[in-house]
């Protein structure tokens, strides 16, 4: 068990007790992730945070949500970023067209290595042809591949869509579950897709959507030094309040598409120009 200098403090004693339970030899994936979300506010700074990181360091990130200590200056800077992006992109939203959670799952799977614009051209006919999870599950795979061919990597995407929908029919009655753990068990659905679906279909802030735009911009702003999407998500979750996760990810993505380009960012037109450190931006 982790010991604290002031163990008589009730808040710390409760945390010590919880840690002692977690350290028992059980599967950590689901339980530990939920525990860490609850404890984020408690252990994001101070002695509890340092003790937790000493305890957690031997475990892989996939088994838990690592909590990063955030300085006051870092949070103040993050707040400025959020306010400026909110002012500049007040109506930012998901650019994939969908009318149901199932349609959003399929569209998000198709968007891998493909533009949302291209996906939106393919999905109207696709959604009409396959209106339910069962329709995808029993469809001839060749027909499904043909319907999505223009999105690229169509064989793998068709396999994932059909595998996903078969599991939805078998385990969830053809409905899209409303929790991250169930979603990431579906073929073709990782943390990013799960966060997209929960945030946009159900308005559940399960995490921070990290795509190529969010990765690039958060690194240029110095919000993270990480390159791995899950570790970037960890850092952003620690910096921004939960109520901002969904809308802010849309704003960063729109900013990446319109101004903060990967090769030629339009820094002179950027609403963050005065505060951006421009890390790794070529002069």
What pLDDT score does 167 carry? 98
CA distances 160 to 107, 112, 156, 243, 283, Å, are 12, 12, 6, 31, 42
Question: Is 12 in the active site?
Answer: no
Spatial CA neighbour of 109 closest among 168, 62, 61: 168
What pLDDT score does 16 carry? 40
Cβ distance 107 to 96 under 8 Å?
A: yes
pLDDT > 70? residue 229: yes
Owner of token pair 């493909």:
114
pLDDT > 60? residue 15: no
Cβ distance 130 to 136 under 8 Å?
A: yes
What pLDDT score does 35 carry? 55
What pLDDT score does 1 carry? 34
Q: How far apart are CA 66 and CA 56, in angstroms?
A: 8
pLDDT digits (tens, 9 = 90+) for 178-203: 999 999 999 999 999 999 999 999 99
* 29, 97, 116, 211: the active-site residue: 211
DSSP letter at 269 equals G
Higher pLDDT, 45 or 282: 282
Question: Is 143 in the active site?
Answer: no
What counts of helices (H) and strands (E) characterise the chain? Answer: 14, 0
What pLDDT score does 282 carry? 84
Higher pLDDT, 150 or 7: 150
3-class DSSP state of 192: helix
Q: How far apart are CA 193 and CA 241, in angstroms?
A: 21
Question: By mean pLDDT, which of 28-32, 41-45, 88-92, 148-152 is the weakest?
Answer: 41-45
* 192, 261, 282, 283: the active-site residue: 192
pLDDT > 90? residue 63: no
Higher pLDDT, 206 or 47: 206
Q: Name the pTM for this structure.
A: 0.75
Owner of token pair 């808040």:
11
pLDDT digits (tens, 9 = 90+) for 20-60: 434 444 444 455 555 555 554 444 444 444 444 444 433 34
Question: For residue 258, what are the contacts with CB-CB under 8 A and spacing of at least 6?
Answer: none
| Average pLDDT over all residues of the chain | 84
3-state secondary structure 112-178: CCCCHHHHHHHHHHHHHHCCCHHHHHHCCHHHHHHHHHHHCCHHHHHHHHHHHHHHHHHHHCCCCCC
Q: How far apart are CA 16 and CA 127, in angstroms?
A: 51
Residue 219: enclosing H or E segment and its boundaries?
A: helix 212-220
Question: By mean pLDDT, which of 56-60, 78-82, 114-118 is the weakest?
Answer: 56-60
pLDDT > 50? residue 18: no
Enumerate the H helices of 66-111 as residue ranges. Answer: 72-88, 101-110
Question: By mean pLDDT, which of 34-48, 109-123, 176-190, 256-270 is the weakest?
Answer: 34-48
Owner of token pair 């969830």:
172
What pLDDT score does 5 carry? 37
């Amino acid at each position: 068990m982790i010991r604290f200098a002031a163990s008589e403090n009730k808040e710390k004693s409760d945390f010590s007790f919880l840690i002692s339970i977690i350290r028992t030899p059980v599967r950590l994936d689901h339980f530990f992730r939920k525990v860490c979300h609850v404890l984020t506010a408690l252990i994001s700074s101070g002695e509890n945070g340092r003790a937790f990181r000493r305890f957690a360091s031997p475990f892989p990130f996939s088994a838990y949500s690592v909590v990063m200590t955030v300085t006051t200056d870092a949070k103040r800077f993050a707040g400025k970023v959020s306010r400026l992006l909110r002012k500049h992109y007040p109506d930012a939203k998901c650019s994939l067209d969908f009318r149901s959670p199932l349609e959003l799952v399929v569209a998000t799977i198709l968007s891998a290595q493909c533009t949302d614009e291209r996906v939106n051209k393919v999905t109207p006919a696709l959604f009409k042809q396959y209106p339910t999870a069962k329709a995808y599950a029993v469809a001839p795979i060749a027909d499904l591949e043909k319907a999505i061919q223009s999105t690229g990597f169509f064989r793998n995407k068709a396999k994932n869509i059909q595998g996903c929908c078969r599991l939805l029919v078998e385990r969830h009655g053809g409905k899209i579950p409303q929790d991250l753990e169930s979603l990431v068990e579906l073929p073709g659905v990782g943390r990013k897709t799960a966060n997209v679906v929960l945030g946009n279909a159900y308005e559940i802030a399960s995490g921070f959507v990290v795509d190529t735009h969010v990765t690039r911009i958060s690194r240029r702003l110095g919000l993270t030094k990480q390159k791995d999407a899950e570790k970037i998500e960890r850092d952003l979750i620690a910096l921004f309040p939960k109520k901002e996760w969904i809308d802010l990810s849309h704003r960063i993505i729109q900013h990446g598409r319109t101004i903060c380009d990967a090769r030629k960012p339009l820094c002179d037109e950027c609403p963050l120009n005065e505060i951006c450190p421009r890390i790794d931006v070529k002069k």
